[in-house]
A and B are shown apart, each in its own frame.
Chain A
Amino acid sequence: MFYPVAGKMIPWFAIPAAILFAAGMYVGFFIAPTDFQQGDAYRIIFIHVPAAWMGMFLYVLMAIYAGVGWAFNARLASMMASALAVTGAMFTLVSLVTGALWGKPTWGTYWVWDARMTSTLILMFLYIGFISLQASIDDTRRADRAGAILALVGVINVPIIYFSVQWWNTLHQGATIRLIGKPTIAAPMLTAMLIMLAACWFYSVAVVLIRLRCIILEREQNAARFAEVNA
């Protein structure tokens, strides 16, 4: 029942994602002014920050789905966790690479082992570990269970990433947008960043739904073949 509904939902997320990406780029490059300290190099934040947020958000979501799948033997939840992993890893990689490309002109180096960057790199390894672990176990139920344990243990890294700039002295700048209090960023810059965040969110939903449909089909095919062989 979920399969056809998911198929119908995909364009409702894919089309707004494309429109929002275009709008975010327009506001970020045509309306947002040049930063007086960083010049135009700061424009990397319009992709870097949303990608970093999505990397963390998708990990938490993946851990929740994996945990639900494990605790309640809900196969759709486990499949959702698998579907989220690749997109989450991709956004984390985007945040690491764009962060390095931002670091070079602003700090003079692509990489330092500072708390924020190191914990984000660990997040990337957690995603890779989750994907590799699931791929290495043939039995899907065992693979889902093993993945869930890793995802749940690794979720502790997300608050570490978020608070790392407060807990340790880091080269990475502190939060410019807070849940409580005014953001320390100009309105057009914030607008562009939020539009790009919305674009990334819509994109994620669309690609995760496509991947989830593929996983459902793959598992059904495998189950059908298994039943056929054992008939």
Chain B
Amino acid sequence: MDWPDLSMGKYGFYVWGSYLFSLLLFVWEILSLKQRKRALKQQQQQQRSSPVSPKVFTGSANETTS
């Protein structure tokens, strides 16, 4: 197996920059989703342990209304 020229001719910055930017975005998306999932689980646990007081509630999702 021949390794490619890592300098990509004289275009290393552009080629590796493209892949690095894409990789960073993919990693960011996966990590932010993990964080969102974790926060939701924590929220779920809190909700189970202590019911929400009407004064504290500020959310407005009206899934129950038409």
Map CB proximity to B onto A82-124 as digits: 1 under 8 Å, 0 otherwise.
0000110010011001100110110000000000000000000
Please tell me if A227 contacts chain B, counting CB pairs below 8 Å.
Answer: yes
Chain A: interface residue total (CB-CB under 8 A): 47
Across the interface, do B61 and A138 meet the contact criterion of CB distance under 8 Å? yes
Map CB proximity to B onto A212-231 as digits: 1 under 8 Å, 0 otherwise.
01100111111111111110
Across the interface, do A222 and B63 meet the contact criterion of CB distance under 8 Å? yes
Across the interface, do A141 and B62 meet the contact criterion of CB distance under 8 Å? yes
Please tell me if A188 contacts chain B, counting CB pairs below 8 Å.
Answer: no
- Which of A43-51, A125-133, A160-168 is the contact stretch? A43-51
**CB < 8 Å neighbour of B1 from A30, A75, A86, A102:** A30
Across the interface, do A39 and B9 meet the contact criterion of CB distance under 8 Å? yes
- Which of A147-155, A177-185, A203-211 is the contact stretch? A203-211
Q: Across the A-B interface, give the 9 residue pairs with the lowest CB-CB distance, nearest first.
A: A222-B61, A138-B60, A223-B63, A40-B8, A41-B11, A98-B18, A39-B9, A101-B14, A40-B9
Chain B: interface residue total (CB-CB under 8 A): 37
* Assembled-state Cα–Cα distance A203/B30 (Å): 10
Please tell me if A29 contacts chain B, counting CB pairs below 8 Å.
Answer: yes
Map CB proximity to A onto B20-36 as digits: 1 under 8 Å, 0 otherwise.
01100110011001001
Please tell me if B44 contacts chain A, counting CB pairs below 8 Å.
Answer: yes
B36 to chain A, nearest CB (A): 5
25 contacts between A and B (CB under 8 A): A30-B4, A34-B9, A40-B5, A41-B11, A44-B14, A44-B15, A47-B19, A86-B29, A94-B22, A101-B15, A101-B21, A102-B18, A105-B11, A138-B60, A139-B61, A207-B30, A211-B36, A220-B63, A221-B47, A222-B61, A226-B57, A226-B59, A226-B60, A226-B62, A230-B64
